[in-house]
Amino acid sequence: MPSRLLKDCSLEPASIIVELTEQDPLSDRMAEVQDAFSCLREAGMRIALDDYGVGNSNLQLWAEMQPELVKIDRYFFDGIGQDDRKQNMVRAILKVAQHLGTSIVAEGIETAEDLAVVRELDIRYAQGWFLGMPDETLLTELTPPLRDSLRLRTAAPLSQRSAGGTAASLRVQAPAALLNRDTNDDVHRLFIEHKSLHAVAVVDADNRPVGIINRRDFSEHYAQRYTRELFGRDACSTFMNGEPVLVDLNVSIDQLSHVLISEDQRYLMDGLIITREGRYDGLATGETLVRSVTEMRIEAARYANPLTSLPGNIPISRHIATLLEDAADFAICYGDLNNFKPFNDVYGYWRGDDMIMLTAEVIKRHCDPQRDFVGHVGGDDFVVLLRSPDWHDRIQRIIAEFNEAAVTLYDDQGRRNGGIEAEDRYGVPRFFPFVTLGVGALTVTPSLCERIRPEDIASAAAHVKHKVKHGNLSLVTERYTGAVLPQLTG
């Protein structure tokens, strides 16, 4: 079949991708199709699964066919910038793709906003009318709107901005053994030539990892009598662990912490295989992973608020600096609680801590962990850095939910009275209504301002918060203009 496909084609086999569409019913012919795919791959072609998420494109087909590319249906990207559910579903699909070593294509990209989200999700391939209309001729020039969108820098997801960095920092360049070519004697030779190697990865003809050979285990086998004579010329897969831990180089150290508590602890001896778009890119030791995760957690604990465990002043400043460096538009929201001190005085610090924890939980629930950053300055002061396009709606939902939930922390009499009697800062008894959340929001466009410092942004946000406090308001929104004190825009 491959020879018939290539007969009248001037393309190289490696340039051809055979695509399965959602209309293809394959459940009754799975074995037949797998044989056909094997022939295509042997000829150097690749396989793509189209419109994943609809029709016949399902997870079982993905797992059994092992396509090099999976095209996610346009439904998931239509308005993704405004839809948290779609974003979460795409992230789940990306995790599967990462585990299986599959590249993802985003379909149906028709707006600059949707393209921006695709780039933030670190999806490398996309198609849609915004990128170009279908045409028989090769596109040689970008449209002005597309060119402008691609010129904008995108900040890396917060999962890749953790204090511990990414798996790329663990990577060690190391040679690999080729399945169906190299023998056990070849592996033995690699260990002799590279004395620091703790393991050797085994890859297929497409440079995709299929296993790992632990140096200690291999050496113990080879040291036994007659092993070399009996198995030396056998395939290198003889003593291979066929279920290695595969990690994409862009995965954060924080995301790798789950490996430490997994039931399979072979990674401590075998280490991890680092991949780039599903292909072999190096090795990492289990010891390095443990050390990096430990250092990351110590660093996080050092600057975290002891009550909420949220990042404190230093991580907040670092993240503001990162957003400014990336020239990423964002909103900084400074929130604190109205009437909190008298509540704390009347009900005690234990109930006051419950109120602070409630604030943290409500804020986190309405923020996107991949795009937004939640920090706790101290006491009842919180700072949220939002890059979600619907950040204003999120803040309004946070305020509404908190104000409703805060009432439940009062006793029956306090709820009946609508508040409590307590002394003010001057020692004068008076009535204080329920605790509420006030937020001062400042929108920042780094490209419109020069030489912005994180402390300038934080100071300006605090100024807006004071307007909320003194004006007895729930939300004030301003735009940062580069001045020490921003000007109200409405």
Identify the CATH homologous superfamily for domain 2-155: EAL domain (3.20.20.450)
Q: Which two tokens stand for residue 305?
A: 């608020």
CA dihedral over 252, 257, 262, 268, signed as positive or negative: positive
Reported as a single tens digit per residue, the pLDDT across 314-368 is 999 999 998 888 888 899 999 999 999 999 999 999 999 999 999 999 999 999 8
Assess contact for 52 and 73: CB atoms under 8 A: yes
Using only C-alpha atoms, the chain has a radius of gyration, in whole angstroms, of 28
Average pLDDT, the chain: 84
Q: Which CATH superfamily is domain 308-488 in?
A: Reverse transcriptase/Diguanylate cyclase domain (3.30.70.270)
**Interval 148-201: pLDDT, tens:** 666 555 555 554 455 557 888 899 999 999 988 999 999 999 999 999 999 999
pTM beyond 0.85, yes or no:
no
The tens digit of pLDDT for each residue in 212-236 reads 999 999 998 888 888 888 888 899 9
What mean pLDDT do residues 105-127 have? 85
State the pairing for strand pair 103-106/125-126: parallel
Q: Are the beta carbons of 108 and 138 closer than 8 angstroms?
A: no
Query: Do the beta carbons of residue 422 and residue 346 sit within 8 Å?
Result: yes
Q: How many helices (H) and strands (E) does the chain have?
A: 18, 19
Distance CA 429, CA 422 (A): 5
Distance of CA 360 to the CA centre of its chain: 21
- pLDDT-derived band at 55, boundaries 50, 70, 90: low
Rounded Cα distance, 123 and 121, in Å = 6
Q: Residues 198-210, buried b or exposed e (16+ Cβ, 10 A)? A: bbbbbbeeeebbb
256-272 exposure pattern, b = at least 16 Cβ within 10 A, e = fewer: bbebeeeeeebbebbbb
Residues in the chain: 490
Same topology for domains 167-295 and 308-488, yes or no? no
- Cβ neighbours, 10 Å, residue 325: 11
pLDDT at position 19: 84
Q: What is the CATH number of domain 167-295?
A: 3.10.580.10
Measured between alpha carbons, how far is residue 14 from residues 2, 6, 11, 202 in Å?
12, 11, 8, 22
Is residue 328 within 8 Å of 446, Cβ to Cβ? yes
β-bridge mates for residue 332, sequence order? 385, 442
How far apart (Å, rounded) are the C-alpha atoms in residues 371 and 386? 7
Extents of the domains making up the chain: 2-155, 167-295, 308-488
